């Protein structure tokens, strides 16, 4: 089972976390999504934590986990915190490859999204 894990920052504002949870549900249901399961995790302030989400993936039978950090720039969260947590989990679950992709702010299409938003 190949799991896509989308990691967001998490917010003190409940609606914001629910917005991210719904967003990840929409990703799960998208026609181009070929992952067996698509899940959400939060770095802080919301559940599930990254640790809990990875534990659940493995418990549910994940053979491989692909991570997309849902962050716009490489602050300390992207550059240090998320990689450290995932590295510890990779050590714990050595047989389940955890493959972290570029954070979303690196997407070449992001410029177009800003211009689209500005012109909308």
Query: Which of residues 54, 68, 82, 96 is near a copy of itself by CB under 8 A?
Result: 68
Ranges within 23-62 binding a copy of itself (CB under 8 A)? 23, 26-27, 30, 32-35
Q: How far is the CB of 32 from a copy of itself (least distance, A)?
A: 5
How many of the chain's residues bind a copy of itself (CB under 8 A)? 50
At its nearest, how many Å lie between a copy of itself and the CB of residue 87?
19
Contact by Cβ (8 Å): 40, 71: no
Burial class (CB in 10 A: 0-12, 13-18, 19+), 14: exposed
Asked if 66 is part of the footprint of a copy of itself (rule: CB under 8 A), the reply reads: yes
The answer to whether 86 touches 67, Cβ cutoff 8 Å, is yes
Which range in 51-59, 75-83, 84-92 contacts a copy of itself by CB under 8 A?
Answer: 75-83
Residue partners of 34: CB distance under 8 A and separation at least 6: none
Tokens 């954070």 label which residue?
A: 103
CB atoms within 10 A of CB 106: 14
Residues that bind a copy of itself (CB under 8 A): 4, 6, 8-9, 11-13, 15-17, 19-20, 23, 26-27, 30, 32-35, 66, 68, 70-76, 78-79, 101-107, 109-120
């Amino acid at each position: 089972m190949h799991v896509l894990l989308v990691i967001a920052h998490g917010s003190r504002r409940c609606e914001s976390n629910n917005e991210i949870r719904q967003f990840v549900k929409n990703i799960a249901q998208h026609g181009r999504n070929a992952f067996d399961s698509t899940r959400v995790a939060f770095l802080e302030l919301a559940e599930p934590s990254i640790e809990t989400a990875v534990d659940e993936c493995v418990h549910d039978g994940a053979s491989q986990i692909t991570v997309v950090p849902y962050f716009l720039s490489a602050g300390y969260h992207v550059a240090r915190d998320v990689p450290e947590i995932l590295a510890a989990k990779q050590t714990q679950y050595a047989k389940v490859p955890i493959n972290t992709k570029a954070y979303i702010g690196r997407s070449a299409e992001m410029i177009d999204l800003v211009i689209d938003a500005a012109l909308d």
